[in-house]
Amino acid sequence: MAVSSLSSPLTHPLRRFSFHLSHLSKKPPVSSLFLCSAAKMSGHIHRVPALDEEEMASVAGKTFERYALPSSAKRNGKGVAILWFRNDLRVLDNEALYRAWSSSDTLLPVYCLDPRLFHTTHYFSFPKTGALRGAFLMECLADLRKNLIKRGVNLLIRSGKPEDILPSLAKDFGAHTVFGHKETCSEELQVERLVDQALKGVGNGTKLELIWGSTMYHKDDLPFDVLDLPDMYTQFRKSVEAKCRIRSSTRIPISLGPTPSVDNWGDVPTLGQLGIEPQEVTRGMRFVGGECAGVGRDLLKVYKETRNGMLGADYSTKFSPWLAFGCISPRFIYEEVRSFNPLSNVPKAHRSFHLCGKHLQVQRYERERVANNSTYWVLFELIWRDYFRFLSIKCGNSLFHLGGPRNVQGEWSQDKKLFESWRDGKTGYPIIDANMKELSTTGFMSNRGRQIVCSFLVRDMGLDWRMGAEWFETCLLDYDPCSNYGNWTYGAGVGNDPREDRYFSIPKQMHWRKKIQPESNSWAPPLIGGMRLGMFTARSVSCFQFRGRWFSNCCRPYLAYSVLDTQGRLKHKGEQCTRPGPRD
Ligand SMILES: Cc1cc2nc3c(=O)[nH]c(=O)nc-3n(C[C@H](O)[C@H](O)[C@H](O)COP(=O)(O)OP(=O)(O)OC[C@H]3O[C@@H](n4cnc5c(N)ncnc54)[C@H](O)[C@@H]3O)c2cc1C
């Protein structure tokens, strides 16, 4: 299926966000995650995080110092160890990095630009990595190299498959071990198997050691075998909250050197060299890749209040792109949340103030602030992330199959025109179009937006959910197979938990959103050119308005569409009975 060009000349500036403790103290609070971050705008673009290069470096520098291993810590290993960077592009809380350093006297960090990352998606042949995620990855690599150089090593960047590159390096440098982080999905597991086999083939005894490090709760600390993971998220959450401790993050020494002498460390490639046509962010949010940017991001304080916001920079944490590339770890976020004390720099005399009309004493504020709804809900969401990662081990490849983990049988359309109207934000439904345009323009979409467009594609259009999931795989900056396919199977009603089968009524959502976020319409101006859709059902009970009448989606759904030309004139009309919805 051809993928068309995705630029979106949209112009409306988004709201600014500001929250200040400045009346309490002139100094910013110590924790990097809690720095004031009124979104700075450049033209119509919000930079995320809202810090310039210098500010980011300063925040990161302080954070690295706070999380450093004391300089008295010594390594006791010998020889060369290779550190294979994968989706863990960070220095802080990187256990594989620590283990590689401590087990050797010389450390060689390597990143392989695997050509398979730039091929196409499995069923529908969309680009596997879209231009915005590709650019984000390159920024992550440049930032990682900078941070490693500051610690006396470097990052060797090679183009090719890890199973070819790593054994050849192991041989050339006589490495005793290749360390890396463990993944859970089949494509990544296959690479691990191939690397392991190829290292064995070298014949100098190099071992592959893979370490668990991507979740907040460690897999080995779960109160059950991961294959017995509860089918209900709530059960999982209650169980880990009651019975598990979150490990503290791994401290990394300030100096990691020496590193072997290497003739050519390799450049961070341009997108053109990877065969990707670059795409500029023309409006909305522009995420900056890399660990320094990740630790400079802060919106925890307003999280709960804005959790279900949509479109723009001013709600939810936006940690996901950095979490997906491993630029920050969930354990690091956890520690920052737990250690935050916003008043640590405030003189005693000023420790009494008004908040929401109430006069509060500092101690009470600290108590309420530290354990408030916002901080708890961030951890609650991170447990979702853990859950989907563990679920990918339990469910295996069924997560990618049409019937999902429960092997649900159904008829699904793969109508190209319908799909393209969804993909290009030309359905005529502003709430769908706005979200899809935000996705293709910025690489991001809110959680509620994702739920709504997923529900629309599956329940209202009756399309094969994998088309949507693969399009997300192409576009999302925060794409990760566990969270993406886990959420899509839930949204499509084929997930492991039959109760997670939620329908989002578009008229209801539109009505509500219009009231709270009128600027969302600026992403989806009235449609000229493209496709307009309407829903109706065999038995008409009111729900959707179509041709001036209300129709229901709780019976067998039909979809009517009209293709308009650029003057808004009708070119073609069609109707389609979508699959019987799970709610029929
Ligand atoms: C159809 C669909 C596809 C999705 N695909 C992805 C994906 O590929 N990668 C991804 O990271 N998230 C995915 N999500 C989950 C969620 O939408 C994003 O994690 C969230 O919107 C990221 O924004 P945030 O960092 O501001 O999140 P916040 O609301 O601030 O949450 C904090 C962190 O918790 C985690 N989190 C929150 N909600 C979820 C969730 N439902 N599932 C898993 N983790 C969660 C994320 O790591 C997030 O960064 C998907 C959701 C849906 C409905």
Give the predicted TM-score (pTM) of the model. 0.82
Mean pLDDT of 148-161: 98
CA of 19 to the centre of ligand 1 (A): 24
Q: Kindly report whether the peptide bond that precedes residue 49 is cis, defined as omega within 30 degrees of 0.
A: yes
Whole-number pLDDT of residue 545: 39
CA of 542 to the centre of ligand 1 (A): 33
Q: Which atom of ligand 1 is nearest to the CA of 480?
A: 8
DSSP E strand stretches across 19-150: 41-42, 45-48, 68-69, 80-85, 106-113
Summarize pLDDT for 91-128 with one digit per residue, the tens.
999 999 999 999 999 999 999 999 999 999 999 999 99
Nearest CA to ligand 1 atom 4: 484
Summarize pLDDT for 514-570 with one digit per residue, the tens.
544 444 556 665 444 444 555 443 332 223 434 333 334 433 445 555 555 555 556
- Measured from CB, residues less than 6 Å from any atom of ligand 1 are 307, 316-320, 323-324, 378, 381-382, 384-385, 388, 446-447, 450-451, 454, 472, 476, 478-480, 483-484, 487-488, 491
Say which DSSP state 428 is in.
S
Token pair of 539, please?
A: 């038995």
**Helix runs in 399-497, H state only:** 416-423, 430-442, 447-455, 465-475, 481-491
Whole-number pLDDT of residue 338: 75
39/315 Cα distance (integer angstroms): 11
CA of 38 to the centre of ligand 1 (A): 23
Which residue in this structure is represented by tokens 């999380």?
67
Listed in sequence order, the residues at least 6 apart from 496 whose beta carbon sits closer than 8 Å to its beta carbon are 231, 391, 394, 395, 404, 405, 406, 489
Average pLDDT of the chain, as a whole number: 79
Token pair of 175, please?
A: 């490495």
If one residue of 236, 373, 487 were mutated to test the ligand 1 pocket, choosing by the most ligand atoms within 8 A of its CB, it would be: 487
Whole-number pLDDT of residue 567: 58
Cα angle 226-227-229, degrees, rounded to a multiple of 5 = 65
Nearest CA to ligand 1 atom 49: 320
If one residue of 129, 132, 447 were mutated to test the ligand 1 pocket, choosing by the most ligand atoms within 8 A of its CB, it would be: 447
CA of 476 to the centre of ligand 1 (A): 11
